[in-house]
Structure formats: structure tokens, C-alpha cells
Amino acid sequence: MRKLIIPVVVIFIALLLMSIFVVKEGDRGIVVRFGRIIKDNNTEVARIYEPGLHFKVPVFDRVRTLDARIQTMDDQADRFVTAEKKDVIIDTYVKWRIKDFGAYYLTTGGGDKSTAEALLKRKVVDSLRAEIGAKEIKQIVSGPDRGEKVDPGAVIADDTAPATTIVDEVVPRKEVEGQRDKIMADVLVEAQESAKDLGIEVVDFRMKKINLPDEISESIYRRMRAERESVARKHRSQGREKAEVIRAQSELEVAKILAEADREARVVRGSADAESAKIYADAFKGHAEFYNFVRSLKAYENSFNSKNDMLVVDPNSDFFRYMKQSDGIN
């Protein structure tokens, strides 16, 4: 009898250990019996075992632990075709977690994470391909337009322009209907809907990087450069036009100032000449003979200024009247 007790105890302990299982923190457990998932009583939902110590039927039950934390699917970038028939290379990532552990276990062949991500990636890529195919490159790379405007007096700097341009009027920014955020939101909604049959909840979807293939990057850069040069030429022509207007206005103002100054100078000079003539007239009015004498001396000075001058004049003329008078002025 004692010989049977020891094997029985050993078997009991072995069965007890086989019936105990532990679910770690961050995981969830499901039990599979004869290839079928054990479900809660009177429901079609798989019985989920929370972290902690649990029991199962030895030998017949197999425990599968699944990671319940948020997972990150960050795979290689894919190539997509835009509405312009241009290729873009987009690098994305998806945040997901298991929502229906029973459905996840069945659709992924036993809870294989790589299988789940392969199926999820196919759904996400299909949704993203449809969104990208209906958008242009400038819509894909641009966020929502904020409707910014250039204020008067602002300085617009252009790398291709020799100098900056001063803006005199409010110029609205060219509107670009950015669709990047909308694309990510639409893909997230579609992925959440399509991933339900996998037992997966898609938490977030983001486009990390958008690149152009090497074969079309140069053409895009050339077009962007041409657009910038066109804008620079426009600013230069507007600047030259405004410069001509300012120069013409300045020259007109200078001409007006000079004309006004010349008019005032002539008026002042005329008034001064009149005043001078009046003073001379008043001074010589009472001494007419002296005035004639001074005029004659001035005439003599001008007439005999050079030794080569020859003057034929009647000696008895009035021209020599003061030269003949030895006693001076009468």
C-alpha cells in the first residue's frame, strides 16, 4: 500500500503542476481544447485569461499567450503612383493591438505576429494606394492650408533674386489644398474597419517620410526652380516699375523746387535792382554834373584801355569837354 502512495502523490503533483499556468503582465491567455478555443459560458467570445495564476485541464488543454500591448508595424517603404502618374516612395508605420483574441488566433494561424502584420500591411497598403492614386504630389506633401497672407511692408526674400522686394499691398498666399493629414485620417478609418475581421484594432497610422524616386526628382526640382525664377522675375519687374515711378516723381518734385527757387531769385534780384537803381537815381539827382563827369571818366577808361586803339574824334566835341577844362567841374 505504501508503495502505491508515492507514485500516486507524484502523479498528483505532476497533474497539479500541469494544470497550473501563469499569464505574464502585458499578455493575455486563451485555452485551446481539442483544437477549439474555450469560450465563455453561453457566449461566442473566447475566454480571456488576465495576468496572474490560472488553472486548466491537464493534457487536454493547451494555453496560448498573446501580447496585449500596442505593437508597431514599421516595414520598408513602398512605391505608390499619384494622380499625375508620378511615383512616390512613402515610408509608414502602424500602431495596432489585439482586440478579439479568439478571432486573432484563428485568422493568424495560431497567433503568429508576422502573419498578422503581413495581413494588416496588405489592407493598409491597399487603402493608402487608393488614396494616393486620387491625389497630386503637392497635395500629398502639404498639410492643411492656413490661409496666411503677406502684410504690407514685409520683405520677401528670394534666393534667386539679387535683392529683397518690399511688398506694398496685402498679397494672399497661393492656395495649396494640403491633403496629407486627411489621407492619414482616411487610411486609419479604412484600416480600422478592415482589420476587424483579423481581431485587430488599428490605433494609429502615420506617413513618416515621402520621397521621390531618383528618376523624377530632378525634373521636379527643375520645375520648382523655374517657378521660383518666374516669381523672382515678377518681383524684379515690379521693383523696376516702382523705381521708375519713384524716380519720375522725384525728378518732377526737384524741377518744381528749382523753378520755384529760380522764380523767387528773379523776384528778389529784380527788387534789388530796382532798389539799387532808385538809390543811384536819388544819389545823382542832386548832382547831375558830377554824374556826367563820372560817366565821362568811365568812357575815357573804356576808350583808352589799349595802346593799339585808334580813336578819330573831333577835338571840339563834348567827348573831350572835361579833358579841356583845367579848372575841374563847373
Say if residue 237 is in the same domain as residue 137.
no
Say if residue 44 is in the same domain as residue 132.
no
Q: Is residue 330 part of a domain?
A: no
Q: Which of 36-40, 162-166, 196-200, 220-224 is most confident?
A: 196-200
With 90 as the cut, is the pLDDT of residue 69 above it? yes
Report the C-alpha gap between 173 and 142 in whole angstroms: 14
Q: Is residue 254 part of a domain?
A: yes
Say if residue 80 is in the same domain as residue 123.
yes
Say if residue 136 is in the same domain as residue 194.
yes
Say if residue 219 is in the same domain as residue 208.
no
The pLDDT score that the predictor gives to residue 322 is 64
Look at residues 267, 283, 299 and tell me which one is the last residue of a structural domain.
283
Here the cell at position 4 is 502505491
Side-chain half-sphere of 175: how many Cα atoms within 13 Å? 2
The pLDDT score that the predictor gives to residue 326 is 53
CATH number where 117 lies: 3.30.479.30
Q: Is residue 172 part of a domain?
A: no
The pLDDT score that the predictor gives to residue 142 is 79
The pLDDT score that the predictor gives to residue 144 is 66
Look at residues 12, 34, 66 and tell me which one is the last residue of a structural domain.
66
What integer is the mean pLDDT of 31-51?
A: 83
Residue 115's pLDDT band, with cuts at 50, 70 and 90, is: very high
Say if residue 104 is in the same domain as residue 136.
yes
Q: Is residue 171 part of a domain?
A: no
The pLDDT score that the predictor gives to residue 319 is 64
Say if residue 156 is in the same domain as residue 271.
yes
With 50 as the cut, is the pLDDT of residue 164 above it? no
Q: Is residue 54 part of a domain?
A: yes
With 60 as the cut, is the pLDDT of residue 21 above it? yes
Residue type, 83: A
Q: Is residue 105 part of a domain?
A: yes
Say if residue 320 is in the same domain as residue 248.
no
Say if residue 233 is in the same domain as residue 118.
no
Residue 261, SS3 per DSSP: helix
Q: Is residue 28 part of a domain?
A: yes
With 60 as the cut, is the pLDDT of residue 159 above it? no
Average pLDDT over the chain, rounded to an integer = 80
With 90 as the cut, is the pLDDT of residue 202 above it? yes
More confident residue, 112 or 175: 112
What integer is the mean pLDDT of 87-108?
A: 91
Residue 41's pLDDT band, with cuts at 50, 70 and 90, is: confident
Q: Is residue 306 part of a domain?
A: yes
pLDDT in tens, 207-260: 988 888 877 777 778 888 999 999 999 999 999 999 999 999 999 999 999 999
Say if residue 319 is in the same domain as residue 223.
no
With 60 as the cut, is the pLDDT of residue 173 above it? no
DSSP of 183-250 = HHHHHHHHHHHHGGGGTEEEEEEEEEEEE--HHHHHHHHHHHHHHHHHHHHHHHHHHHHHHHHHHHHH
pTM of the model: 0.55
> 91 phi and psi, to 5 degrees?
-105, 125
Helices (H), the chain: 2-18, 101-107, 113-133, 137-141, 180-194, 214-285, 288-303, 321-324
Say if residue 202 is in the same domain as residue 76.
yes
More confident residue, 167 or 146: 146
pLDDT in tens, 70-86: 999 987 888 999 898 88
The pLDDT score that the predictor gives to residue 169 is 43
Domain that holds residue 118: 71-143+178-212
Lowest-confidence range among 102-111, 145-154, 247-256?
145-154
Query: Of 234, 237, 232, 239, which is closest to residue 168 (Cα–Cα)?
Result: 239
Lowest-confidence range among 7-16, 59-68, 83-92, 182-191?
7-16
Query: Of 124, 257, 131, which is closest to residue 198 (Cα–Cα)?
Result: 124
The pLDDT score that the predictor gives to residue 325 is 63
Contacts of 48 (CB under 8 A, 6+ apart): 28, 29, 30, 101
Residue 93's pLDDT band, with cuts at 50, 70 and 90, is: very high
Look at residues 283, 300, 316 and tell me which one is the last residue of a structural domain.
283
Say if residue 130 is in the same domain as residue 197.
yes
Task: Please tell me the total count of domains within the chain.
Answer: 4
The pLDDT score that the predictor gives to residue 311 is 65
